Amino acid sequence: MSGEQRDVMMLQSPFHSRVVAANELNEWDCWAGYTTPTAYFDVELEYFAVRSTTGVFDLSPMNKYQITGPDAQAYLDRVMTRNISKINVGRVGYSVWCDDAGQVMDDGTIFRLGENEYRLCAYARAMDWLSWCAMGFDVNIEDVSDQVAALAVQGPTSCSCLKAMGLEGIDKLKPFGLVHYDFEGEDLLVSRTGFTGDLGYELWIAPHKAEALWDKLFAAGEPYMIKPIGSHALELTRIEAGFLQAGVDFVPAQDAVRLGRSRSPFELGLGWLVDMSKPVFNGKQALLKEQREGSRFRFVILDVEGNKPAHNSFIFKGKRKVGTVTSAAWCPTAKSNVAFAQIEMPHGEVGENLVAEIYFERELHWSRVLAPCKVIETAVFNPPRRRTTPALAF
Amino acid sequence: MTNYDVLLVGGGHNGLVCAAYLAKAGRKVLVLEANEALGGAAASREFAPGYSVSSCAHWLTHLSPKVSKDLDLERHGLQLAARDLDSIGLNPAGQHVTVKGGSVEGEGLSAADKQAYVEFHRKTIKFSRLLAKAFAMRPPKLVEANFTDRINLLKLGLGMKMLGREDMSDLLRLALINMYDVMEENFDNETLKALLSFDGVLGAHMGPRSPNTVFGYLYRRIGDVHGYNGPAVVKGGMGALATSVANAARAVGVEIRTLSQVERINLVDGRAVGVSLQGGEVIKAPLVVSNADPVTTFEKLVGYRHVETGLVRRVSQIRMRSGTAKLHLALDGLPGFSGLNEAQLGQRLVIAPTMDYIERAFNSAKYGESSLQPALDISIPSIHDDTLAPQGKHVLSAIVQFAPYDLKLGWDNHKEQFTRQVIDTISAFAPGIAERIVASELLTPVDLEREFHMKGGHWHHGEISLDQVMMMRPFPGATQYGTAVGGLYLCGAGSHPGGGVMGLAGRNAAREIIKRGEAA
């Protein structure tokens, strides 16, 4: 079959031409129906771009929903566990949402673009659920996933890159703030958000300006060692920063087939996102019950001894298996071996010593280590530059 | 200001029954009814000067003898003008078929059909008796291991075993299939088949070939178990029954306010704390019991936005498209029906000569049209009760199927034409009736919805079918009269066991609330 005639099954991001050109390894994965690069040239160098200079990740495939109308806030307050009225215009909030059983369906960020205008960025397709939730509300929900192209620009020199690109005053933007710029006559939305735990921004623009934005950003960022990064490098940074990944660290409730496989916000360490003072939100009744009767699991971050990532490990307390690992990585900057695990209650309190059973392979030879590990309180990477405003120039 | 223990939203017959039981148990109850008349769909109305008729249900076939006795309804004014009436299936050739409780008669009827009917009736009553047991208790939940529920399930299971091997397997087979097949299996006479199958689709959006219609038929036969050997006529119309229940309720201390439309059930922290009336008055109480159908309760009174989405999904998916209208005629004299004598005119008259006739009538409804030749259940109550019409005059009341709620043409444009079609349908069996009409009134499902605040105008507050009965009525999660909203209960026909002037939903709800006590 000739190349011209071939139907492509996978969708291509608005940055595709630039991504292809930069993708030296030609390694691809599928994300929400789009081709997405797993790595461009070297996972570790890409990782270090984020931690030492600037890494750029194409997050256009993210599901995005525009929620507008007089009831937009009331609507989101019923959908989300957190208090949406506390997100002011020009701010972004992170939240999870649950089904009636109090089980997490997804997590995402909510951009308040106007008094009655929000944009929700979600891991999973959510139009069906969002529409069901709209009954009784005067809101309009639109799937704008393919109307908005997006780049994450992350790392210590990211602010300098954007300034060099001409985004005046971007250094004043506070974490979780958003600001609009004109980009060749189109609206360029910049938010100080990200999935790396570092100083960083996300750029949102109409698809037809995507390539121009990429070109201008990379040209301006060259002195600041700007590099494109793939999903593997992003994975390392988010584990180091302690961020959960839907579909990896929990099964979205709507996808869970087997009884008991989904998790509540409390069981994911996200209780701080649950505002019980709201009169109603999806899952509230069930979560109140869970508070009374206790949770089944606890989400923990483990500091694992040694340098073998505890991928898919069982976690033991003495001889008893008390949990499993959902994400694991050797984190180069923090220089620690981190694992996220779901531990059966009442185990997994901060400071508790557990054991990870790690299997690893060297030249077709499998070995097992029983690595001691300890429950730690917070993520291993959390630099001040992530929060400092105005953003520091590196 | 008086402090109430319970506010009852809606003074339909189930609401009044529930209020009376609660008051008997010592609760201070206030009933709030939007209309001037009590009884909800068990009501009478003067549709033309001097002419009154039961405005919705017109036969009393189901009233629970338990409820009647507990509330002493006869002492409080309930009188039957006639009871144990026959059902006569009209045949265009004059070979009418008459069902008299457990037997059937008719000129064109074979001995085999007569015998088959006796056996069919025996069997269905046996099934309905089992059903009646389940109707008198709260529906057992399947998942949660509650002791009472387990015992109740065990009793039902045992009851099924006690039917005997043959009847039990027959029940399991029949309950799931349709009246058309069952009729074909048992009988030859077309009019008999149609007469019986019509009972399976009354008030429903179903034709004889629709699944669930055998269950609908067994549901009708609950009346036989409750001691009605055929339909009865309440003296003064159904409104008089409502009056007797209201009297019984007042006698045990229930306070009743009419013309008091509840606009909103108020919640605090997801718990019902009282109601707001149209006009702004706020009344508080720790418990609110809604006699309104579940959709009206949650969509309009509670508000979808105040409950969780899963619940909204369940409620919004309840099937409650009505296909039933009501025709009222004021007549300046007794009409003549071909082949019927005067005594027979007072019986239940059914115009549905064949099952295909009913099915065709239903076909129209499926596609948003009214039936060209509707199937009719006719009552001329003034024969038994001279208070309904001036001396020598009469009223005729007909249940009309099918008239879809969502009529494509819109009812405003079509009401007159459909009224004429219904009258023409009757005229074919009662020549000259058109000349006797002094006044007429057609209540479409849209009118019924407006008059009686029933979503979709559905008589049963939701289709009676296997997916919406017992532990699935009104919807999973609200099956034992309580709801996901603390302090809010349902007591109407939308709850188990369902519609019909039976009173059991109201009684069962009250019993459940009393049983839960402080925890309610």
Q: Does residue A350 share a domain with residue A300? A: yes
Q: Does residue A372 share a domain with residue A317? A: yes
- The pLDDT value recorded for residue A3 is 39
Tell me whether domains B6-45+55-81+235-319+455-519 and B321-452 share a fold: no
Q: Where are the domains of chain B?
A: 6-45+55-81+235-319+455-519, 99-225, 321-452
Tell me how close the Cα of B447 comes to any Cα of chain A, in angstroms. Answer: 24
How many interchain CB pairs under 8 A, A with B? Answer: 52
Residue A6 lies in a domain: no
Q: Give the CATH number of domain B6-45+55-81+235-319+455-519.
A: 3.50.50.60
Whether the pLDDT of residue A181 is over 50: the answer is: yes
**Closest by CA position to A373, among listed A280, A291, A304:** A304
Cβ neighbours, 10 Å, residue A151: 24
Per-residue pLDDT tens over the stretch B413-464: 999 999 999 999 999 999 999 999 999 999 999 999 999 999 999 989 999 8
Q: Which residues of B, range 314-333, sit inside 8 Å of A by Cβ?
A: 316
Tokens of B417: 């034409």
- The pLDDT value recorded for residue B2 is 67
Partners of residue A281 in chain B, C-beta under 8 Å:
308
Measured CB to CB, residues of chain A less than 8 Å from chain B are 71, 74-75, 78-79, 99-101, 129, 132-133, 135-137, 279-285
Q: Does residue A174 share a domain with residue A27? A: yes
Q: Which long-range contacts (CB under 8 A, 24 or more apart) does A236-239 make?
A: A236/A43, A236/A47, A236/A329, A236/A331, A236/A332, A237/A47, A237/A50, A237/A51, A237/A154, A237/A195, A237/A196, A237/A197, A237/A198, A237/A381, A238/A195, A238/A196, A238/A197, A239/A327, A239/A328, A239/A329, A239/A331, A239/A338, A239/A340
State whether residue B268 sits within 8 Å of chain A by CB. yes
Assign B469 a pLDDT band (cuts: 50, 70, 90): confident
**pTM score, whole prediction:** 0.91
Give me the mean pLDDT over the A320-339 stretch: 96
Give me the mean pLDDT over the A151-175 stretch: 97
Q: What range defines the domain where residue A96 resides?
A: 63-130
Q: Does residue A196 share a domain with residue A85? A: no
Q: Does residue A199 share a domain with residue A81? A: no
Assign B218 a pLDDT band (cuts: 50, 70, 90): very high
State whether residue B311 sits within 8 Å of chain A by CB. yes
- The pLDDT value recorded for residue B201 is 95
Whether the pLDDT of residue A159 is over 90: the answer is: yes
Assign A394 a pLDDT band (cuts: 50, 70, 90): confident
Assign A393 a pLDDT band (cuts: 50, 70, 90): confident
Average pLDDT, chain A: 95
Give me the mean pLDDT over the B9-32 stretch: 97
Q: Where are the beta strands (DSSP E) in B172-323?
A: 233-234, 255-257, 262-268, 271-277, 282-284, 287-290
Q: Where are the beta strands (DSSP E) in B432-497?
A: 437-443, 488-490
Give me the mean pLDDT over the A233-252 stretch: 96
Whether the pLDDT of residue A5 is over 60: the answer is: no
- The pLDDT value recorded for residue A156 is 97
What CATH number corresponds to the domain at position A83?
A: 3.30.70.1400
What CATH number corresponds to the domain at position A186?
A: 3.30.1360.120
Residue A343 lies in a domain: yes
Q: Does residue A187 share a domain with residue A84? A: no
Assign B169 a pLDDT band (cuts: 50, 70, 90): confident
Partners of residue A129 in chain B, C-beta under 8 Å:
309
Q: Does residue A56 share a domain with residue A22? A: yes
Q: Does residue A71 share a domain with residue A55? A: no
Residue A359 lies in a domain: yes
Q: Give the CATH number of domain B321-452.
A: 3.30.519
Residue A217 lies in a domain: yes
Per-residue pLDDT tens over the stretch A281-302: 999 999 999 999 999 999 999 9
Residue A76 lies in a domain: yes
Per-residue pLDDT tens over the stretch B321-353: 889 999 999 999 999 999 999 999 999 999 999
Average pLDDT, chain B: 94
Residue A386 lies in a domain: no
Complex prediction ipTM? 0.89
Residue A253 lies in a domain: no
Per-residue pLDDT tens over the stretch B243-280: 999 999 999 999 999 999 999 999 998 899 999 999 99
Q: Does residue A343 share a domain with residue A304? A: yes
Per-residue pLDDT tens over the stretch A105-137: 999 999 999 999 999 999 899 999 999 999 999
Q: Does residue A190 share a domain with residue A174? A: yes
Per-residue pLDDT tens over the stretch B274-309: 999 999 999 999 999 999 999 999 999 999 999 999
Tell me if A280 and B303 make a contact (CB, 8 A cut-off): no
Instruction: Tell me how many domains chain A contains.
Output: 3
Residue A116 lies in a domain: yes
Assign A1 a pLDDT band (cuts: 50, 70, 90): very low
Whether the pLDDT of residue A102 is over 80: the answer is: yes
Q: Does residue A43 share a domain with residue A81? A: no
Partners of residue A79 in chain B, C-beta under 8 Å:
309
Q: Does residue A336 share a domain with residue A200? A: no
Which of residues A229, A250, A283 is at a domain's end?
A229
Tell me if A280 and B313 make a contact (CB, 8 A cut-off): no
